[in-house]
Amino acid sequence: MRSSVQTIPVTDLPLRLHRRGKVRDVYDLGEWLLIVASDRISAFDVVLGQPIPRKGEVLTQLTAWWLSQLEDLVDHHLVTVDPDRIVALEPRLAPTREIWGRRSMLVRRAEPILIECVVRGYISGSAWKEYRAQGTLAGEPLAPGLLESQQLIPPVFSPATKAEDGHDENIAFTEMARRIGAAQATRLRDLSLAIYTRGSEIARQRGIIVADTKFEFGVAGHRTLLLIDEVLTPDSSRFWPADGYQPGRPQPSFDKQPVRDYLDGLTAWDKRPPPPELPRQVVAATSARYLDIFRRLTGVSLDDFRAREPKPPRTGR
């Protein structure tokens, strides 16, 4: 299965633009949306000038693969990632297929629930910084004596506000319940933990630790709850190689770490726009990590992968 090798920093398709995010361009097709994952990359909440080759393909195709592993747990919004089927449903897209093909999801329209459903199976990143300073996560106490990167047993559900610009903010579960209702908050927490547990088990069989991840949910039709957006990708998750795992220190990861490391080493950049230019070797190393985690998880290269068509969602759930 040949994939596009064209790098796409931004798209301009013959459709009405619904919104443009840091990475995704979303187009309005009436009852559906077309979510196009560009090759843009952000760090420290700044979109960088150099795209990462094939990043958008990885995010789209890996999400489709994960959704096929999760269909018995949760309904989702994906209709198809098959370019042939997308063109059949929306013929206006045929002339621009080389731009959006294999990096696009045709999805059911859903009203997003404005909470990031974060699950942490290991303590790292911003969670480690808060714990080291205060012994808490989102203001709630954790067990004393944890090491950096230590496994959390059981995993911790750690919701956050969903920010269009700037940083998401960790909030307590009680605040989440206040915002969206206790019943909905409990349902999202339980679903998120179940999805994380399934994903962690599958990844561990392939030598990968899912340290943490975030999910997004939306509501469609007759109050049908759907898993939306990307799922268990290197942009939404922290993946570590299991064979080198050792608590008490940071872990190598399969994501944009080469970009972060390069930018962290710059003394002249204040983490605000405009961003510095990325060296060619940093771009290449980051692209290689995205392709590597795709192959490790799915068992095939991105070029050889073809997503299975999703089952239609169950209704009224």
Q: What was the pLDDT predicted at 2? A: 46
Question: How far apart, in Å, are the Cα atoms of 60 and each of 159, 231, 234, 266, 314?
Answer: 24, 9, 11, 31, 22
Percent of the residues in the chain that have a pLDDT greater than 70, as a whole number: 95
Q: What was the pLDDT predicted at 165? A: 58
As a whole number, mean pLDDT of residues 112-123 equals: 97
The pLDDT-based confidence of 123 (bands split at 50, 70, 90) is very high
Indicate yes or no: pTM above 0.85.
yes
- Nearest residue to 315 via CA among 192, 183, 226: 226
The pLDDT-based confidence of 257 (bands split at 50, 70, 90) is confident
Mean residue pLDDT of the chain comes to 93
Which residue bears the tokens 């045929």?
94
pLDDT digits (tens, 9 = 90+) for 195-247: 999 999 999 999 999 999 999 999 998 789 999 999 999 999 999 999 999 99
The pLDDT-based confidence of 164 (bands split at 50, 70, 90) is low
The pLDDT-based confidence of 6 (bands split at 50, 70, 90) is confident
The pLDDT-based confidence of 172 (bands split at 50, 70, 90) is very high
Q: What was the pLDDT predicted at 222? A: 78
The answer to whether residue 46 scores a pLDDT higher than 70 is yes
As a whole number, mean pLDDT of residues 50-59 equals: 97
As a whole number, mean pLDDT of residues 26-53 equals: 96
The answer to whether residue 315 scores a pLDDT higher than 70 is no
Q: What was the pLDDT predicted at 316? A: 44
pLDDT digits (tens, 9 = 90+) for 92-102: 999 999 999 99
Is residue 53 within 8 A of residue 283, CB to CB? The reply is yes
- Nearest residue to 105 via CA among 164, 25, 218: 25
Is residue 216 within 8 A of residue 116, CB to CB? The reply is yes
The answer to whether residue 312 scores a pLDDT higher than 90 is no
- C-alpha 246/C-alpha 251 separation (Å) is 8
In order of their start, the domains of the chain are 112-244 (3.30.470.20)
